[in-house]
Structure 1
Amino acid sequence: MGQRYYAHSLENEPEEKWQTVEAHLQQVAQLAKNFGADFEAGKWAEMAGRWHDVGKYSLEFQKRIGADIDANIELMRGRPDHSTAGAQHADAMSKQLGKFLAYPIAGHHAGLPNGQETSESCLFKRLKKVVPDWSACPEKILEPAALGMPPFAKGMAGKKAGKRIGFQASFFIRMLYSCLVDADFLDTEQFVNPEKADWRKGYPGLESLNEKLILYLNDLVKSAEPTHINKDRDKILRHCLDAAEKEPGLFSLTVPTGGGKTLSSLAFALKHALKYGLKRVIYVIPYTSIIEQNAAVFREILGDSAVLEHHSNFELKDEKDEDRRSRSAAENWDAPLVVTTNVQFFESLFHSRSSKCRKLHNIAKSVVILDEAQMLPVPFLRPCVETLRELSEFYSTSIVLCTATQPALSEEDLSWRLENVREIMPEPATLYEAFRRVNAEYVSKLSDEELAERLARHEQVLCVVNTRKHARLIYEKIKGDGCYHLSALMCPAHRSEKLAEIRQALDAGRPCRVISTQLIEAGVDIDFPVVYRSAAGIDSVAQAAGRCNREGRIREGGQVCVFMPEDGLPPGYFRQNAETAEIVMRHHDDMLSPDAVREYFETLYWRKGDDELDREEILKDLWEGAQRADFPFRTVAGKFNIIDKNGMDSVIVPFKTEPSGLIDEIEGTDKLGQMARKLQRYTVQIPKRVFYALEAASVIERVRNQFCVLINKDIYKDELGLCPEDPTFHESESLMT
Structure 2
Amino acid sequence: MYFYAHTTDTNDKNEWQLLINHLENVASNSEKFASSFGAGRLAYVAGLLHDLGKYSIEFQSRLEGSSEKVDHSTAGAIEAEKRFGRMIGRVLAYVILGHHSGLPNGNIGKERNLLSRLSKTDIKDYSYYKNELNIPNLKNSDLLTIPMPKSLNTDAFSKSFFIRFLYSCVVDADFLDTEKFMSYDRYKYRETKSIDELYYHFQNTLSMLEDKCRKNPSTINSARNQILKRCIEMASGKTGFYTLTVPTGGGKTYSSLAFALKHAKINKKDRIIYVIPYTSIIEQNADVFRKAVGSENVLEHHSNYDYPDDSFDTWRNDDKKHRLATENWDMPLIVTTSVQFFESLFANKSSQCRKLHNIANSVVILDEAQMMPIDYLRPCLYALAELISNYNVTVILCTATQPSIDRFVPNNIEITEIINNQDQLNRIFKRVNIRYIGNKSDNEISFELSKLQQVLCIVNTRRHAKELFDKLHTLKKEGTFHLSARMCPAHRKIVLSEIRKRLKENKECRVVSTQLIEAGVDVDFPVVYRSMAGIDSIAQASGRCNREGKKESGMVYVFEPEIYGMPNKGRFELCASITRSTRRKFGDNILSSEAIKYYFEELYDYERENLDSKKILEDINEGKKELLFPFEDISKKFNIIENDMVTVIVPFDEAAKQLIYEMEKSKYPGMYARSLQKYSVQIYSFEKDALVRAGAINVKKLGGIYWVINDSSFYDYITGLKDAIDVKAPNEILVF
TM-score norm. by structure 1 comes to 0.92
Kindly indicate whether residue 683 of structure 2 is the aligned counterpart of residue 686 of structure 1: yes
- Following superposition, the deviation at residue 78 of structure 1 comes to 4.7
Q: Is the 8 A contact 2:296 2:318 kept in 1?
A: yes
**8 Å CA contact retained: 1:313, 1:681:** no
Whole-angstrom CA distance in 1 between matches of 2:628 and 2:494: 51
From 78, 88, 97, give the equivalent of 1:106. 97
Q: Name the residue aligned to 1:483.
A: 480
- Matched with 2:273 is 282
Determine whether 1:195 maps to 2:178: no
Shift, 1:310, TM fit: 1.2
Matching residue within 112, 127, 131 for 1:135: 127
**Are residues 1:511 and 2:511 paired?**
no
In structure 2, what is the Cα distance between the partners aligned to 1:688 and 1:223?
46
Tell me what 1:346 maps to.
342
Aligned 8 A contact 1:315 1:677 in 2 = no
CA distance in 2, matches of 1:124, 1:496: 54
Alignment of 1:236-251 (within 5 A): 236-251=227-242
Match of 1:33 in 2: 31
Conserved 8 A contact 2:656-2:676: no
> Contact 1:57 / 1:135 at 8 angstroms: preserved in 2?
yes
What residue in structure 2 maps to residue 296 of structure 1? Answer: 287
Deviation string, structure 1 residues 488-544 (Cα, Å, up to 9, x no partner): 222233222222222222222221111111011011111111111111110011111
Match of 1:55 in 2: 53
Distance 2:97 2:137 in 1: 18
1:441 corresponds to which of 435, 439, 453: 435
Cα-to-partner distance string for 1:237-278 (whole Å, 9 max, x where unaligned)? 221111111111000111111211111111111111111111
Distance 2:179 2:207 in 1: 43
1:578 to 2:554 alignment: no
Q: Which structure 2 residues correspond to residues 461-500 of structure 1 after superposition, within 5 A? A: 461-479=455-473, 480-500=477-497
Deviates more, 1:256-265 or 1:136-145: 136-145
Distance 1:304 1:651, change over 3 A: closer
Structure 2 residue corresponding to 1:378, chosen from 351, 374, 381: 374
Residues in 2 aligned to 1:672 and 1:96: alpha-carbon distance in whole angstroms: 48
The question of 1:702 aligning with 2:699 is answered yes
Q: Which runs of structure 2 are paired with 1:185-224 in the superposition (5 Å)? A: 185-201=175-191, 203-224=192-213
What are the equivalent positions in structure 2 for 1:16-95 lying under 5 Å apart? 16-67=14-65, 78-92=68-82, 93-95=84-86
CA distance in 1: counterparts of 2:257 and 2:723, whole angstroms: 42
> Within 5 Å, which residues of 2 pair with 1:142-161?
142-146=135-139, 148-149=142-143, 154=148
What letter is aligned with 2:468? I
Offset at residue 712 of structure 1 (A): 2.5
Change (3 A) 1:78 1:573: farther
> Does the aligned pair in 1 maintain the 2:45–2:136 contact within 8 Å?
no
Deviation, 1:727, is 7.2
**What is the alpha-carbon distance in structure 1 between the residues aligned to residue 690 and residue 356 of structure 2?**
40
Q: Are residue 330 (structure 1) and residue 331 (structure 2) matched?
A: no
Once the 2 structures are TM-superposed, how far is the Cα of residue 650 of structure 1 from its aligned partner? 3.8
| Structure-2 residue corresponding to 1:123 | 114
Q: CA deviation at 1:104?
A: 1.0
Seen in structure 2, the aligned counterparts of structure 1 residues 685 and 290 have a Cα distance that, compared at 3 Å, is closer
Alignment partners' CA distance in 1, 2:224 and 2:655: 47
The reply to whether residue 8 of structure 1 matches residue 1 of structure 2 is no
Aligned to 1:656: 653
Residues 1:291 and 1:691: Cα distance change in structure 2 (over 3 Å): closer
SS of the residue 1:112 aligns to: coil
2:731 aligns with none
- Structure 2 unaligned runs (5+)? 728-736
Deviations 1:210-231 (A, max 9, x none): 1221232123213321111222
C-alpha distance in 2 between matches for 1:356 and 1:155: 24
- Shift in CA distance, 115/155, structure 1 to aligned 2, threshold 3 Å: closer
Of 163-172 and 140-149, more deviation after overlay is shown by: 140-149
State the alpha-carbon separation in 2 of the partners of residues 474 and 683 from structure 1: 25
Whether 1:717 aligns to 2:716 is yes
Q: Secondary structure in 1 aligned to 2:237?
A: coil
CA distance in 1: counterparts of 2:487 and 2:638, whole angstroms: 27
**Partner-residue secondary structure (3-state), 1:142:** coil
Question: Closer, same or farther in 2 for the Cα pair 1:508/1:207, shift >3 Å?
Answer: same
Q: CA RMSD in A?
A: 2.3
- Conserved in 2, the CA contact under 8 Å of 1:654 and 1:662? no
Q: In the TM superposition, what is the alpha-carbon distance from 1:391 to its structure 2 partner?
A: 0.3
Q: What is the DSSP-based 3-state SS (H/G/I as helix, E as strand, rest coil) of the residue aligned with 1:474?
A: helix
Q: CA offset at residue 415 of structure 1?
A: 7.5
Indicate conservation of the 8 Å contact 1:167/1:619, yes or no: yes
Q: Does 1:175 align with 2:168?
A: no
Residue 559 (str. 1) matches residue 555 (str. 2): yes
> Structure 1: which amino acid aligns with 2:709?
L
Aligned length, in residue pairs: 708
What is the distance in 1 between the residues matched to 2:672 and 2:373? 30
Shift of 1:119: 3.5
- Check whether the contact 1:96–1:629 (CA below 8 A) recurs between aligned residues: yes
Which amino acid letter does the alignment assign opposite residue 135 of structure 1? S
Cα offset, 1:473, TM superposition:
0.5
User: Alignment partner of 2:101: what SS?
Assistant: coil
Partner of 1:420: 414
Distance, in Å, in 2 between the alignment partners of 1:702 and 1:708 is: 8
Q: Is the 8 A contact 1:308 1:329 kept in 2?
A: yes
Shift of the alpha carbon at 1:4? Answer: 0.1
Hey, what does 1:608 align to over in structure 2? 607
Q: Which residue does the alignment assign to 2:521? A: 524
Q: Take 1:29 and 1:137, find their aligned partners in 2: how far apart are those partners?
A: 15
3-state SS of paired residue (1:698): coil
Structure 1 residue 579: Cα displacement: 0.7
2:363 alignment partner in structure 1: 367
Q: Give the Cα separation in 2 of the matches to 1:675 and 1:210.
A: 33
* Partner deviation per Cα, 1:272-318 (whole Å, 9 max, x = no partner): 11111111111111122322112112212221211111123349997
Cross-structure match for 2:597: 598
User: Is 1:659–1:713's contact at 8 Å kept on the other side of the alignment?
Assistant: no
Letter in 2 for 1:722: L
Residues 685-736 of structure 1, C-alpha deviation per residue, up to 9 Å, x if partnerless?
A: 33444333332233321234553322222121111112225379xxxxxxxx
1:672 to 1:176, Cα distance in 2 relative to 1, 3 A: farther
Q: 1:115 to 1:467 in 2, by over 3 A?
A: same
Does the 8 A contact of 2:147 with 2:391 survive in 1?
no
Q: Which whole-Å CA distance do the structure 2 matches of 1:533 and 1:473 have between them?
A: 15
- Distance in 2 separating the partners of 1:697 and 1:247: 58
Tell me, what secondary structure is at the counterpart of 1:91?
Answer: helix
SS at match of 1:137: helix
Give the alignment's TM-score, normalised by structure 2: 0.92
CA deviations 1:601-655 (Å, max 9, x no partner) are 111000111x311121111111111122111111111111111244x44433222
Task: Confirm or deny: 8 A CA contact 1:659 1:709 kept in the other structure.
Answer: no
SS at 2:185's partner residue? helix
Q: In the alignment, which residue of structure 2 is the partner of 1:262?
A: 253
Letter in structure 1 aligned against 2:139: A
Cα deviation for residue 426 of structure 1 reads: 0.8
SS across alignment from 1:368: strand
CA distance in 1, matches of 2:660, 2:235: 52
In structure 2, distance between residues paired with 1:208 and 1:301: 12
1:650 and 1:289, CA in 2 relative to 1: closer, same or farther beyond 3 A?
A: closer
- Find the aligned partners of 1:521 and 1:653 in 2 and give their Cα distance: 24
What do residues 44-63 of structure 1 show as CA deviations (whole Å, max 9, x unaligned)?
A: 11111110011110111111
Q: Percent identity?
A: 46
**Aligned amino acid, residue 285 of structure 1:** I
Greater alpha carbon shift after TM alignment, 507-516 vs 54-63: 507-516
